[in-house]
Amino acid sequence: MKTLKELRKTKGLTMGKLSELSGVSAKTISLYEQSPPVRPSKKVMGKLSEALEIGPDELLTYLSPAKKRARARVEEEPEGNIMLEENHVTRLIRLLDKEIEELRYLLVDCADLSEEHPALGKCIDTVDADIDLLTEIKGRFQG
């Protein structure tokens, strides 16, 4: 199965051209190609699928292989594991909770302003992806 990057290249599109056609920032496209969010934005998926001339469900299948590869890379590098004491884990979880909460407030505040300021709409996707990442990291500490 192909990745989003391979699909884009098959369609003869550069990241910049896909950004131009879809209205999705090149930074967001890069994020979706390299380490797609667990729950991709419906808005971004809609814009990308329209620009790539495929359905959102089909586009989602191109994101799955990238996610599996990213997980495999993490699992393949056991020497990168760090042993932490329980108090460090507890503190890290508190810090992650605080950051996730702040990002959620930012997401809500920006969502209201995004209609007046389209550039904020692009930032919202990045903040949403950050929330997903931090939530995943928190889950690993708790699991």
Task: Tell me the CATH number at 30.
Answer: 1.10.260.40
Same domain membership, residue 77 and residue 9: yes
Same domain membership, residue 23 and residue 13: yes
What are the φ/ψ torsions at residue 21 (nearest 5 degrees)? Answer: -70, -35
Same domain membership, residue 89 and residue 72: no
59, containing H or E segment: helix 56-76
Total structural domains in the chain?
A: 2
For 7, the domain range is 1-81
Strand stretches in the chain, DSSP E:
none
Confidence (pTM): 0.47
Same domain membership, residue 73 and residue 127: no
**pLDDT tens track, the chain, 143 positions:** 488 889 999 999 998 999 999 999 988 888 888 888 878 888 999 999 999 999 988 898 888 754 454 454 444 445 566 777 888 888 888 999 999 888 888 877 777 676 677 777 667 778 888 888 898 888 887 76
CA angle 138, 71, 50 (to 5 degrees): 100
Q: Which of 62, 81, 100 is the last residue of a domain?
A: 81
Owner of token pair 């890069």: 30
